Structure formats: C-alpha cells, structure tokens
A and B are shown apart, each in its own frame.
Chain A
Amino acid sequence: SQQGEEDPQALSIQEGENATMNCSYKTSINNLQWYRQNSGRGLVHLILIRSNEREKHSGRLRVTLDTSKKSSSLLITASRAADTASYFCATGSMDSSYKLIFGSGTRLLVRP
C-alpha cells in the first residue's frame, strides 16, 4: 500500500499567502523528500530532510519532520502564481537503499 498520504488533496490560496501541506507515512525512514510536479512535466526535487533532523529551510520552503508522529509538513511562504503545481512527499524504509515511495500528492493552486 502507499507509504505516504498527503493532506490536503487540493489547496487553493491567494498569491502572497502561505501554503502548508502535510504528509504522513507508516514505516521507519532514512529521509523524507519533497518534490514538485508542474502540469505535464516530470518531478523536480525540492528538499530532503534526514531522519535526525527536525526542520530544514530552503528559500521560501520550510520542511518539518516529526518521526514520533511519522509526519512531515511543507510550508511555502509568500506564495506566487508560479508555485502552482502538485507537491509530493517521498519516503524510503530503512531496509532498502533503492526504493522511494511517493505520497498521493497535494495539488496547489495559487491565484494571482
């Protein structure tokens, strides 16, 4: 079954507002990654947070990881119309080097 579940499935906000997406997973992980997919395109890596980290920043992105709750959140601050995309979390279990399991994705619409 799918490892990651994302919440909400869809999010519509006004440009300038912040967007928060959540991801929950089931097994112990090595790291958790967030990817963005623009319509009709491939996935692009945004940020990676390791299991011993609690928070990480990259530009307007802030990711948190709570391994006790098996959850992560992605915050996009001061959103722009260009942030409109689907956002996926991806996790891998500790026992396999090669496998990332992707969540179901959050579709973000930023209205200009």
Chain B
Amino acid sequence: DTAVSQTPKYLVTQMGNDKSIKCEQNLGHDTMYWYKQDSKKFLKIMFSYNNKELIINETVPNRFSPKSPDKAHLNLHINSLELGDSAVYFCASSQVRGLSKETQYFGPGTRLLVL
C-alpha cells in the first residue's frame, strides 16, 4: 500500500546515456513534484505538475524532461547524463487547496550514480 512509489530505487549508468525514473501515487492527489537532493542533503524542487499541467520549472537543464501521462504519474526523463546529475531524486505529491501549502508525501527516492 505504498502511497508514493518510485522506480528504480538505484540507477547506475554511464555518462552520456539517457535514463528515466518513474513515479506513481495512489493518494488521489492532484499535484506531483520532483526534487533533487545532492550529496550535502540539500533538497531542491525541480518540477511540479498540477492535474497533468506543468506549474513549476526551476532552472533545470532542458536535458531533464518531466512527463505526466495522468495525475497519478509523473516520470522524469534525463538525456545525455552528466557526472553532476548524480544525486538522489525524490518524487512527492500533495493536494493543493488555494494558496495553502499542504503536506507533501515523498517517495523513497532514486539514487542515481553517473560514472
């Protein structure tokens, strides 16, 4: 009964490859997020989708492309992977109500290592 799930949990790949990370939530939330956590545990928002519509796109290289086929799924595709992309990527979801920032529920993370 995992609320927010991500696959894969670990991803080790070579520089220059293209890879995808998948996220699914079964909470019925309308908003999903991708965060990147670096080696110093600094957690930064990358993207947010609300009802399949892109809401937030922080200054992320366009090698990163999110896709939301429906409001329960938000996938992240990364082209031409670079060493600096190595990090833990977290998916999260929440139910947004007006300007109130409600609790976000996080997935377990995908640990990406680019060699």
Contacts and interface: CB of A to CB of B under 8 A. Distances in A.
B96 A88 contact: no
Contacts of B107: 42
Given A33-B103, A43-B90, A97 B96 contact: yes
A101 B45 contact: yes
Contacts of B41: 37, 86, 104-105, 107
The range of chain A's interface size is 20 to 34
Contact of B106 (A30, A43, A92): A43
A11 to B, nearest CB: 14
Nearest to A104: B42
The range of chain B's interface size is 20 to 34
Binding site secondary structure of chain A: strand
A94 B99 contact: yes
Interface centre among A41, A44, A97, A101 (most CB of B within 10 A): A97
Given A30-B101, A31-B101, A98 B90 contact: no
Contacts of B99: 30, 94-97
A63 to B, nearest CB: 14
A48 B103 contact: yes
Interface string A50-78: 00000000000000000000000000000
